[in-house]
Amino acid sequence: MKKLFTLCLLAVATLTTAAWAADAPAAKPTVANVVSGEVLEVKNVESYTYLRLKTKDGETWAAVNKATVKKGDKVTVENTMVMSNFESKELKKTFPSIVLGNLGGTTGAKAESSPHSGAAVKPADIGPIKVAKASGANARTVAEIVTKAVELKDKSVKVSGKVVKFNAGIMGKNWVHLQDGTGAAASNTNDILVTTDAQAKVGDVVTVTGTVRNDKDFGAGYSYKVMIEEAILQP
């Protein structure tokens, strides 16, 4: 889920689920479906909300993108994953078992954001985006990488762009969305997802070198037609 989940949710469905800011899973997740219940306790961290729920099967903890939820609300967590021995460094707590997912139909609760972006990513208010194409071998624009994804599959590319979205600690990686002014939001060709160990913040202009991957499915709704993995970021 300072950030998600661990993309078990950037792995649970449109949660995008994702790992949390500095939270990471310690065991292989198992896939659940939908968990509904009454909120007994709420713990908020920077980007995520932890909920202790009373369900028909007993009490359980769940984690969703940060949301406005209060004790007594009836909530549904959708596109879920069950994690064992999940450590939240922000809470300084290890959950023997926790459900990671998206906040679905609720009474009184309201989701605030989602790290997952299967649709076009709307950039933050960071001004116009027009970044010059990177130079050197394997240099590409964002639009070129998206539209030539099959041709570039498993190949190294270099791309410059502005960070329009950043989620840390999702499945042990930081998730960065880059735009350079090429492509179009209507066709989802203006944005590329990058996973990296490096830090960045929204508004930074960076140059990324990494490997193009096609049809990556992390489960729980985290599915991408094209992305860049194992990336190195340079200012």
pLDDT level of residue 222 (50, 70, 90 thresholds): low
218 neighbors 229 (Cβ within 8 angstroms): no
What CA–CA distance (Å, rounded) separates 222 from 217?
6
Per-residue pLDDT for 160 more than 90? Answer: yes
Highest mean pLDDT among 3-12, 67-76, 80-89 belongs to 67-76
57 neighbors 94 (Cβ within 8 angstroms): no
pLDDT for res 2: 41
Q: What is the mean predicted confidence (pLDDT) over 136-143?
A: 96
Q: Give percent of the chain with pLDDT exceeding 90.
A: 44
Query: Does residue 142 sit in helix, strand or coil?
Result: helix
Q: What is the mean predicted confidence (pLDDT) over 115-124?
A: 49
Q: What is the mean predicted confidence (pLDDT) over 65-72?
A: 87
pLDDT for res 115: 44
pLDDT: which is higher, 101 or 131:
131
pLDDT for res 21: 36
pLDDT for res 124: 56
pLDDT level of residue 168 (50, 70, 90 thresholds): confident
What CA–CA distance (Å, rounded) separates 68 from 197?
30
Model confidence over 52-63: pLDDT tens digits?
A: 999 998 999 998
Give the 3-state DSSP-derived string for 63-120, with helices as H, strands as E and coil as C. EEECEECCCCCEEEEEEEEEEEEEEECCCCEEEEEEEEEEECCCECCEECCCCCCCCC
For the record, the structure tokens of 20 come out as: 């949390």
Phi, psi torsion values for 200, nearest 5 degrees: -155, 170
What CA–CA distance (Å, rounded) separates 207 from 155?
16
Model confidence over 20-49: pLDDT tens digits?
A: 433 444 334 444 468 899 999 999 887 788
pLDDT: which is higher, 98 or 167:
98
pLDDT for res 120: 53
pLDDT for res 80: 78
Provide Rg for the chain, Cα atoms.
18
- What domains can be seen in the chain, in order of their start residue? 4-111 (2.40.50), 142-234 (2.40.50.140)
Tell me the pLDDT of the chain averaged across its residues: 79
Q: Length of the chain, please?
A: 235
The sign of the CA dihedral 33, 39, 42, 46 is positive
What CA–CA distance (Å, rounded) separates 158 from 161?
10
Question: Measured in Å, how far apart are the chain's first and last C-alpha atoms?
Answer: 25
Nearest alpha-carbon partner for 227 in 177, 182, 183: 177
Give the 3-state DSSP-derived string for 17-69, with helices as H, strands as E and coil as C. CCEECCCECCCCCEECCCEEEEEEEEEECCCEEEEEEEECCEEEEEEEECEEC
DSSP 123: P
Model confidence over 171-207: pLDDT tens digits?
A: 778 889 999 999 998 898 999 999 999 999 989 999 9
Residue labelled with tokens 């949390």: 20
